[in-house]
Amino acid sequence: MEALPERLGDLTLLKQLDLKECPELMVLPERLGILTGLEKLNLQGCSGLMVLPEGLRDLTGLIKLNLEMCVRLTVLSERKSWNTNMLFAIKRKCNRLTQSQMYCREQAKNWDYATVFKQFQIGSTYFARPMARQHHPNLMVGELGIITAHCTTHVDLMATVDFLTHGSVEILMDLNFIHPLETRENWTET
């Protein structure tokens, strides 16, 4: 689901909205601001979300806003006044979550795409590194997965990695996120 229906604004008595782990969600409806009784909004893991709607400022009853793992969330307009505490919390959370992504985008400027795709070959086994866990908190560091596809998302080179316990996950093709499992001559197959 890339977007929520605008009709969501009709649910005026809604107190909690939990959209946790909706990585395809890219847009929140502007009418979200009509839900002045909304107290808790959980957007954790909505990694496709890039901007918060202006209407979010009107949520005067909002007590808790969870933006963990909203790794693409970078735009916060300040045309109207935000609740100062909420704005500080949002910026702090967004800045913390996007540092690794900004680092990777800077590194990507120097990448030769053919080399990267060769290094992260489809069918190869990789293990999750700590930075991958920042973006996908359910992953365990060291968890093994097999690359099943490549794609680009917002200029990021991504690998679809199939983890046995978590299914398919899109992860940045960077050795800080996933690392190849290398075999040694003296290893035996089990």
CA angle 154, 159, 163 (to 5 degrees): 135
Considering the domain architecture, whether residues 83 and 172 belong to the same structural domain is answered as no
Q: Is the pLDDT confidence value at 48 over 70? A: yes
User: Which residue, of 107, 141, 164, is where some domain finishes?
Assistant: 107
Question: Are 119 and 182 spatial neighbours (Cβ–Cβ below 8 Å)?
Answer: no
Considering the domain architecture, whether residues 142 and 99 belong to the same structural domain is answered as no
The answer to whether residue 186 is domain-embedded is no
Q: What is the CA radius of gyration of the chain?
A: 19
Of 89 and 138, which is predicted with more confidence? 138
The answer to whether residue 188 is domain-embedded is no
User: Which residue, of 92, 107, 122, is where some domain finishes?
Assistant: 107
Q: What's the CA gap between 159 and 149, in Å, rounded?
A: 6
Considering the domain architecture, whether residues 102 and 60 belong to the same structural domain is answered as yes
Q: Is the pLDDT confidence value at 95 over 50? A: no
Tally of domains within the chain: 2
Considering the domain architecture, whether residues 132 and 96 belong to the same structural domain is answered as no
Considering the domain architecture, whether residues 170 and 122 belong to the same structural domain is answered as yes
Closest residue by Cα to residue 120 from 153, 145, 155: 145
Q: What's the CA gap between 52 and 100, in Å, rounded?
A: 20
User: Which residue, of 67, 85, 107, is where some domain finishes?
Assistant: 107
Within 8 A by CB and 6+ apart from 43, the residues are: 19, 20, 22, 25, 49, 65, 66, 67, 70
CATH number at residue 173: 2.30.30
Using CA atoms, how far residue 140 sits from 135, 160, 180, in Å, is 12, 16, 16
Q: Which domain holds residue 133?
A: 113-180
Using CA atoms, how far residue 52 sits from 19, 98, 110, 184, in Å, is 14, 15, 31, 48
Residues β-bridged to residue 159: 150, 171
- The mean of the pLDDT values for the chain is 76
Whole-number pLDDT of residue 79? 41
The answer to whether residue 187 is domain-embedded is no
Q: What's the CA gap between 98 and 118, in Å, rounded?
A: 27
Q: What's the CA gap between 23 and 68, in Å, rounded?
A: 12
Using CA atoms, how far residue 142 sits from 52, 54, 131, 136, 145, in Å, is 33, 40, 11, 13, 9
Considering the domain architecture, whether residues 121 and 86 belong to the same structural domain is answered as no
Considering the domain architecture, whether residues 63 and 154 belong to the same structural domain is answered as no
Q: Is the pLDDT confidence value at 162 over 50? A: yes
Considering the domain architecture, whether residues 84 and 118 belong to the same structural domain is answered as no
pLDDT tens-place string over residues 105-161: 555 556 677 788 888 888 989 999 888 887 788 888 899 999 998 876 655 678 889
